[in-house]
């Protein structure tokens, strides 16, 4: 029986990893509430884009010739959104985002995140 410090660390690590995976953990992601103000002629494109980013439309209001779209969207999906919105609206659209809550990441998306994390872990180990 090996009772060295390294043997205990290795055994503890393996036990934790096994127990963690048996517990069926879930991955959570931050969800932001966004308000997007766009010209009426860009509304369809913007709503389609929000939906394609796993966003959920909560409502819409009219402000003159502009439409205000309220939605909830994962933080990972609004990275660089100002640039995309500017492109879709010819620079006439603006948005505001605020952190709302956390939700479980869909299984397919979670598998991609975990695979990317494992890949990065192996790269760090090689360096």
Distance CA 94, CA 68 (A): 10
Q: Is 67 exposed, middle or buried (0-12, 13-18, 19+ CB in 10 A)?
A: buried
Distance of alpha carbon 51 from alpha carbon 45, whole angstroms: 10
The predicted structure's pLDDT at residue 114: 83
Cβ–Cβ < 8 Å for 27, 113: yes
pLDDT at 127 over 70: no
Name all domains of the chain by residue range, CATH numbers in brackets.
28-107 (3.30.70.240)
60-103 residue pLDDT tens: 999 999 999 999 999 999 999 999 999 999 999 999 999 999 99
Taking each continuous run of H as one helix and of E as one strand, the counts in the chain are 4, 4
């Amino acid at each position: 029986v090996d009772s060295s410090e390294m043997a205990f660390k290795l055994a503890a690590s393996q036990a934790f990893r096994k127990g963690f995976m048996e517990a069926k953990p879930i991955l959570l992601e931050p969800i932001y509430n966004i308000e997007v103000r766009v010209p009426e002629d860009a509304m369809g494109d913007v709503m389609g884009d929000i939906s394609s980013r796993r966003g959920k439309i909560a409502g819409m209001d009219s402000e003159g010739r502009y439409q205000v779209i309220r939605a909830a969207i994962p933080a990972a999906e609004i990275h660089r959104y100002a640039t995309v919105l500017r492109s879709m609206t010819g620079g006439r659209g603006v948005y505001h985002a605020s952190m709302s809550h956390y939700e479980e990441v869909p299984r397919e998306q979670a598998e991609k995140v975990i695979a990317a994390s494992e890949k990065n872990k192996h790269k760090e180990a090689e360096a």
